[in-house]
Structure 1
Amino acid sequence: MTATGREAWPAAAEWTGKIYSGGWRQSGGGTQPVHEPATGARLAEVGVASPGDVARSGALAARAQQGWAAMAPAERAEVLLRAAGVLRDNSGAIREWTVRESGGVPAKGDYEIAAGLSQLAQAAGMASLPLGEILSSPVPGRASHAWRVPLGVVGVINPWNAPLLFAMRALAPALVLGNAVLLKPDPHTPVSGGVVVAQLFEEAGLPEGLLHVLPGGPGTGEAVVADPHVAMVAFTGSVQAGRAVARAAGDRLKRVALELGGKNSIVVLDDADVDAAAAAGALSTFGYQGQACVAAGRHLVHDGLVESYTEALIGHARALRVGDPREDGVALGPVISERQAARIERIVDESVAAGARVLVGGRREGLFYPPTVLDHVERTMPAFSEEIFGPVAPVIAFHTDTEAIEIANDTEYGLAAAVHSRSLPRATALAGQVRTGMVHINDVTAKDAANAPFGGMGESGNGSRIGGTANLEQFTQWRWATMPETA
């Protein structure tokens, strides 16, 4: 895997064809190959966790969790900080796995590493937060206390588009708060989203049995959700899959945190800085081939600026080179799979057939889809309503701020938005009326911070938030106790 010829990290001999459950072991579900989307090359082979593997892991995790929860919070935090050190020391190898497995450019790999480090640091800091309250007691002479306790075992079902970041976002706070974790990485990225994570924590000295990495497809995920030892599931993925997870978890009265899709708008008002707005719009839609839940899926532009904005956006699109992400100067790599490439192609083609116009791009070569700008987009078209998850920018003109709000809210999703204006009061007022869980002024739609609650409304999630102090609510539950003030 490395250009220098030195032994790759993590050492493939340890984990090839295996799962991580009480150390590396043979899986009961066989193995699966891992392919590079840019070239089709076979990169690795990982184990596939069977339902029996999941059941064994759940039981091991439940036993190990009790001792872990009894440790001092500072000791748990120290493990996370050591994991951060391992991540730094092996950042080059991890970047290479991220690039080759997910198709992102090296800068995307660097972003995930930096964000992963932030998640570990933020989670470690939670160890010093107060976890309880002294309550007023209605009974004289009796004390009343409430404090947070771990849930027990948390299931994390991870996506392919930011595998390291999303793994750390859930498992780091879950672990530091005293839980054990079953992590199911996506089949497209089982190394950067699974093997790497297992190796980080193994080298950091996480006690055995607290983290289980269980690659596999939907059957493995279903087993994780159904396992009786799993008290809560953190899922990131499509709306369709999220609904299935929610149904299965609800039937078992389990807590579930869903981070799903988005049809996010970048709104450009008539007093905006056009060049700055177009630069933010290009990054929001074309970054990582548009394969992010927080990517801009609509560019809503005041009709007085739409011509100049579109011209600037086309300029950005034409300047972005598409190709193998390991080559110098490449800005966009391949989309993750043939299925995803065909989906993007269908949405664009059906919209064009309905009257939309392709201004740049619009034709793929294999898995490589170029930055694409559409105009004449109407609300009846797939490019307006569907989450594209590709580098396609539909431009839609509006006449008034009220109309911009109405168009932005014309979606079942509600994840993120951005508003551009030279008037902060005006932009803030408009942002307050957009129905999203996150909104950014004079910036991109695609933002993330370890200390901020991350999540959406509507079909973008179930109202849960992960990030910052919101993690306390997600990964713990309250316990209340009363006792005499004197023996």
Structure 2
Amino acid sequence: MTVTDEGTWPDAAEWTGKIYSGGWRQSEGGVQPVNEPATGERLAEVGVAAPADVARAGAQAARAQRAWAGTAPQERAEVLHRAARVLRDHRGAIREWIVRESGGVPAKGDYEIAAAIAQLAQAAGLASLPRGEILSPSAPAETSYAWRVPLGVVGVINPWNAPLLFAVRALAPALVLGNAVLLKPDPHTPVSGGVVVARLFEEAGLPGGLLHVLPGGSGTGEAVVADPHVAMIVFTGSTEAGRAVARAAGDGLKRVALELGGKNSIVVLDDADIDSAAAAGAMSSFAYQGQACVAAGRHLVHADVVEPYTQALIRQADELRVGDPREEGVALGPVISERQAARIERIVDESVAAGARVLAGGRRDGLFYPPTVVDRVERTMPAFTEEIFGPVAPVVAFRTDDEAVEIANDTAYGLTAAVHSGSTSRAAVVAEQLRTGMVHLNDVSAKNAANAPFGGMGASGNGSRIGGTADLEQFTQWRWMTVLGSV
């Protein structure tokens, strides 16, 4: 049985070749295939939203949003609770889509589903938070209020590497705070990051016109950014693409939340538990083929322990089987595309040509790239300077804590980091000097929590944060009102 056979969820008869905009309908942009990276098999077809489709969706969303903003916050929260129940009810089918469409192993699909459910619950809780405050008046007879109001229509441009989770973490708080959403899923994952999301909220009873799912390529994304009804863009993707989004959104004075790339370091001090640090390092670099902005792109290891750490990392890499993610025992599936596989290969090969040494992995088979450990990495090599977005662990030695901080900060990125030490206070001193939006002690670099403000600094983003109470600031704006005289 394929994921689009009769009896599977979501029912392909409803959405094949269509977009979700005022219900399921044919688009003006034609259709695009959905292919499985592990096998090349065609899984489905979805509609492609043309600029005219986006314009229609923006106008419809703006009309629907005005009524939605007037509903009781708890009524909006209940839609999210129902969406979480739908997600639980169909977790098996959704996991299958994530595995086959994105190349992740089933455990990765389970993680996304659990994290999306947590995001829905967290966002629903925003409905009960205070929405404003009474200010000190400027005159005895004046009453002064300030409260948060929705932005209007939020455009969400979604990546392929965590398509369900990243869609939900943006649109759930946006919706519960009274906004409408235009969601553009990535062309690689338009079902798990688009069709599935539409069906979740359709079955949850979200009123019509509030959520539009508009698959397509860069032209569709440009139309979403430019649409005059869109007040805010949430973009997750590469730094280069994020800069283009920011420039285009700036012309319309739109709010922009950018979650971009990272060149993240795991710092291993000389008093660290080596086996524990190597396990965290392997998870951070190799999980989901290293295709995460929070993956560890550098392993900075004290020179006194670099040899045992590297050997432990090699053992971790050698135990991880690569193959079709639906097969029992496979830990790493394919990378998402030939373009990405070639990029990983280039970065490793160029670094080796410059003097680095491959200790494990390093040779791909089509889209399957094995967990790879590279040492003798210098700061001029691509393995040090470029975001790899593949299962590669470059190892760099240092001598002092200050040197470790200086090496870790030698990047334009500033997303996340991890520091390993037998002394929490020592690790904290190092962590506080790292220019990152997130840092984790004696843990992996790749962490996510629904109640935490997620985001980076520098080339990793524009300082915006998604998650927890930070969502109040992101998806609303302040309104001030005064009343002169008796109330």
Q: Deviations over 1:313-347 (max 9, x none)?
A: 00000000000000000000000000000000000
Is 2:5–2:12's contact at 8 Å kept on the other side of the alignment?
no
CA distance in 1, matches of 2:207, 2:276: 49
Aligned to 1:71: 71
Normalising by structure 2, what TM-score?
Answer: 0.99
Q: CA deviation at 1:359?
A: 0.3
CA distance in 2, matches of 1:375, 1:262: 20
Alignment map for 1:159-238 (pairs within 5 Å): 159-238=159-238
Is 1:144–1:483's contact at 8 Å kept on the other side of the alignment?
yes
Q: What secondary structure sits across from 1:98 in the alignment?
A: helix
Aligned to 1:303: 303
Is 2:6–2:12's contact at 8 Å kept on the other side of the alignment?
no
CA distance in 2, matches of 1:376, 1:483: 69
Is 1:263–1:297's contact at 8 Å kept on the other side of the alignment?
yes
Aligned to 1:425: 425
Q: Deviations over 1:157-196 (max 9, x none)?
A: 0000000000011000000000000000000000000000
Q: CA deviation at 1:138?
A: 1.1
Paired amino acid for 2:280 = A
CA distance in 2, matches of 1:216, 1:239: 20
Is 2:455–2:461's contact at 8 Å kept on the other side of the alignment?
yes
Aligned to 1:257: 257
Tell me, which stretches of 5 or more residues in structure 1 are unaligned?
none
Q: Deviations over 1:200-226 (max 9, x none)?
A: 000000000000000000000000000
Is 2:4–2:44's contact at 8 Å kept on the other side of the alignment?
no
Paired amino acid for 2:155 = G
Is 2:145–2:480's contact at 8 Å kept on the other side of the alignment?
yes
Is 2:145–2:481's contact at 8 Å kept on the other side of the alignment?
yes
Q: CA deviation at 1:227?
A: 0.1
Q: What secondary structure sits across from 1:481 in the alignment?
A: strand
Q: What secondary structure sits across from 1:68 in the alignment?
A: helix
Quickly say closer, same or farther: Cα 1:254–1:350, change in 2 above 3 A. same
CA distance in 2, matches of 1:63, 1:3: 35
Quickly say closer, same or farther: Cα 1:273–1:32, change in 2 above 3 A. same
Aligned to 2:319: 319
The answer to whether structure 1 residue 339 and structure 2 residue 339 are counterparts is yes
CA distance in 2, matches of 1:286, 1:185: 25
Quickly say closer, same or farther: Cα 1:321–1:243, change in 2 above 3 A. same
Q: Deviations over 1:145-165 (max 9, x none)?
A: 000000000000000000000
Alignment map for 1:259-408 (pairs within 5 Å): 259-408=259-408
Q: Deviations over 1:70-103 (max 9, x none)?
A: 0000000000000000000000000000000000
CA distance in 2, matches of 1:4, 1:25: 18
State the aligned residue count.
487
Q: What secondary structure sits across from 1:460 in the alignment?
A: coil
Paired amino acid for 1:250 = G
Q: CA deviation at 1:233?
A: 0.2
Q: What secondary structure sits across from 1:330 in the alignment?
A: coil
Alignment map for 1:430-445 (pairs within 5 Å): 430-445=430-445
Q: CA deviation at 1:5?
A: 7.3
Is 2:3–2:96's contact at 8 Å kept on the other side of the alignment?
no
Q: CA deviation at 1:35?
A: 0.2
CA distance in 2, matches of 1:416, 1:463: 13
Paired amino acid for 2:397 = A
CA distance in 1, matches of 2:265, 2:289: 17
Aligned to 1:152: 152
Is 2:3–2:97's contact at 8 Å kept on the other side of the alignment?
no
Q: Deviations over 1:9-54 (max 9, x none)?
A: 0000100000000000000000000000000000000000000000
Aligned to 2:99: 99
Normalising by structure 1, what TM-score?
Answer: 0.99
Q: CA deviation at 1:486?
A: 1.1
Q: What secondary structure sits across from 1:49 in the alignment?
A: coil
Is 1:2–1:93's contact at 8 Å kept on the other side of the alignment?
no
Is 1:262–1:460's contact at 8 Å kept on the other side of the alignment?
yes
Paired amino acid for 1:351 = S
Is 1:323–1:330's contact at 8 Å kept on the other side of the alignment?
yes
Q: Give the fraction of aligned pairs with identical amino acids, expressed as a percent.
A: 82
Tell me, which stretches of 5 or more residues in structure 2 are unaligned?
none
Q: CA deviation at 1:484?
A: 2.7
CA distance in 1, matches of 2:363, 2:123: 43
CA distance in 2, matches of 1:436, 1:126: 26
CA distance in 1, matches of 2:5, 2:232: 42
Paired amino acid for 1:385 = T
Aligned to 2:21: 21
Is 1:320–1:331's contact at 8 Å kept on the other side of the alignment?
yes
Paired amino acid for 2:25 = R
Q: What secondary structure sits across from 1:56 in the alignment?
A: helix
Q: Deviations over 1:261-299 (max 9, x none)?
A: 000000000000000000000000000000000000000
CA distance in 1, matches of 2:460, 2:319: 32
CA distance in 2, matches of 1:80, 1:342: 40
Is 2:48–2:214's contact at 8 Å kept on the other side of the alignment?
yes
Paired amino acid for 1:190 = P
CA distance in 2, matches of 1:16, 1:2: 14
Q: CA deviation at 1:6?
A: 6.4
Q: What secondary structure sits across from 1:378 in the alignment?
A: coil
Quickly say closer, same or farther: Cα 1:391–1:71, change in 2 above 3 A. same
CA distance in 1, matches of 2:6, 2:99: 18
Is 2:4–2:12's contact at 8 Å kept on the other side of the alignment?
no
Q: Deviations over 1:409-429 (max 9, x none)?
A: 000000000000010110001
Paired amino acid for 1:125 = G
CA distance in 2, matches of 1:410, 1:292: 20
Paired amino acid for 1:208 = G
CA distance in 2, matches of 1:234, 1:140: 43
Quickly say closer, same or farther: Cα 1:379–1:209, change in 2 above 3 A. same
Aligned to 2:475: 475
CA distance in 2, matches of 1:240, 1:390: 18
Is 2:3–2:43's contact at 8 Å kept on the other side of the alignment?
no
